[in-house]
Structure 1
Amino acid sequence: MSDSKPDPGVFLVKGDTVSIPSLTMSVNEQGEIEASPVYLHIGIDMTAYWLDIAYKHLLATETAHKKLMQAKEEKDNEKISRYLKKESIAGMQSIMSAGIALDAYYASVKEHVDIPQATIDIWRDKSTARYKQISEVLRVGFRLKPESSKSLRDILKQNFKFRDKAVHPSPGTAAPLLHAELNKVTDWRYATFRFYNAKAIYGLSLSIVFKTSIKKDSRVGDGLKAFCEKLIPRIKPLERKWKRRFGDLL
């Protein structure tokens, strides 16, 4: 291990958040200003990073899917097996990463939303599902109307159902499922994590983050607005990539 000292100062990257958690100043009897030591805290919002990771895995899923469809046309079972696995593995990672992005977004938004302690206690005592907590925080923070709130809740429920299948895989055997595009009944994982589902999950996840963060509502708190203003420039490139390749977000 090197005994050299680190370079002076703190190295920051564009987009990092810096705060000073505590600073006290006073004037002593001699009229001199006395201040406590200054300690920096640094934070990184991971929402955009995980959305980018999920998108890269989605592209890998798409590539594997196209090769799978070609193998289907060729009736080459060896290639079908190879690309069925590749599609599923990449799709699983895309779905999982999209779920983590939503978790990261929720954690950041929650810092700026006043949720009653009684509600938080109920969530803890009843082990309230993650998607319900996220939908409530976004509803309150962005002042969503009932119709939008219900749609958000339904989408989150679906997305986290798929995410949980990736993060908490069931051991042993289970009933097979139909891989619709391949038109073959196979292991449920190949059917569940295929490109069609990965694309839907990622697109909806990106849409939730993008459309709430750009929402214009005078009732949204200043802290949340400031957070979104910093996030939007990091999300827009992903929205443009999606639009060029797959069309408008839902």
Structure 2
Amino acid sequence: MKVGIQDGDFSISLDENGTPDSNLTLSTSYNMLPIWMKIAYENLVTSNKASKAVSENWCDDNEIQKSLLITELTPSIQVFVACGCALDAFYDQLKEFAKISREDIDIWKRKRTPRSAQIVEIIRRVYKLDKTFVKGAKVNIGSIMEYRDKVVHPSHEVQHTCSRPDIPVNVDWRFSAYKYSNAEIAYQRTMECSGTTILAT
């Protein structure tokens, strides 16, 4: 939580009798990063249970197959969304310390620099990270933001079906991309990049 006073929100005055009067309006900002990580963690736990159910209860009944896959898909999607939002929150917290100029921002806009690349650059500048970490962070954050955006801005365009190692049939690509194992990776990589140690208990 940050607490502050914005311009014009604190005043002291004297009335016609010389009696002092004052007015103060506080402003706050609650840190959403740990909240998003908590949401991601809680959904990761649910996704894990659903993933085990897929392996244990898979059968030839199409309705059961559908139910099992959707039950895993739903929390897994939430993990990706929460991780992407957490990274956005982390970016906003760090940008004032990263010495990002107006010119830098204009270049990003002109070149349409992906959000993931902007986040990595902010982290690199603040923590002065080595090239190895930055290279890995670009891949990890890039994937998280890409798959976050794919569910936040979903397309109904048809795509090839995909296989999964835990079931004997091909499925819509979303049931392969947004499964527990990938959600777990997204969560772990977000924790590593954001440096937060907030876990739900």
If the TM-score is normalised by the length of the shorter chain, which range does it land in? 0.7 to 0.9
Shift of 1:35: 8.7
**2:175 alignment partner in structure 1:** 190
Shift in alpha-carbon separation, 1:164–1:180, aligned structure 2, 3 A: farther
**1:39 alignment partner in structure 2:** 25
- Select the residue among 182, 189, 193 that pairs with 1:204: 189
Deviation >3 Å, runs of 4+:
22-26, 34-37, 74-78
**Cα distance between partner residues in 2 of 1:197 and 1:185:** 17
CA contact (8 A) 2:47 2:73 kept: yes
Shift of 1:199: 0.8
Shift in alpha-carbon separation, 1:20–1:69, aligned structure 2, 3 A: same
CA contact (8 A) 1:71 1:77 kept: no
CA contact (8 A) 1:68 1:79 kept: no
**Cα distance between partner residues in 2 of 1:65 and 1:138:** 33
**2:70 alignment partner in structure 1:** 85
**Cα distance between partner residues in 2 of 1:139 and 1:167:** 27
**Cα distance between partner residues in 1 of 2:151 and 2:138:** 20
Higher-RCO chain (CA-CA 8 Å, sequence separation at least 6): 2
- What whole-Å deviation, never above 9, does each CA across 1:1-48 have from its counterpart, x for those lacking one? xxxxxxxxxxxxxxx22101237789x9xxx9x897422111011000
The AA in structure 1 aligned to 2:134 is S
The AA in structure 1 aligned to 2:176 is A
1:131 to 2:116 alignment: yes
1:117 to 2:102 alignment: yes
- Select the residue among 94, 104, 114 that pairs with 2:89: 104
Aligned length: 197
- Select the residue among 38, 63, 80 that pairs with 1:52: 38
- Select the residue among 144, 167, 175 that pairs with 2:160: 175
**1:236 alignment partner in structure 2:** 197
- What whole-Å deviation, never above 9, does each CA across 1:63-121 have from its counterpart, x for those lacking one? 1111111113x555443221111101111111111111111111111133211221111
**Cα distance between partner residues in 1 of 2:85 and 2:23:** 36
Taking structure 2 as the reference length, the TM-score comes to 0.87
Shift of 1:201: 0.7
Shift in alpha-carbon separation, 1:120–1:52, aligned structure 2, 3 A: same
**Cα distance between partner residues in 2 of 1:119 and 1:154:** 22
**Cα distance between partner residues in 1 of 2:21 and 2:193:** 44
Identity of aligned residues (%): 28
Q: Provide the aligned C-alpha RMSD in A.
A: 2.5
Shift of 1:237: 4.2
CA contact (8 A) 2:11 2:24 kept: no
Unaligned runs of 5+ in 2: none
Taking structure 1 as the reference length, the TM-score comes to 0.71
- What whole-Å deviation, never above 9, does each CA across 1:150-188 have from its counterpart, x for those lacking one? 221121112112112211211142211112322421111
The AA in structure 1 aligned to 2:30 is I
Shift in alpha-carbon separation, 1:237–1:50, aligned structure 2, 3 A: closer
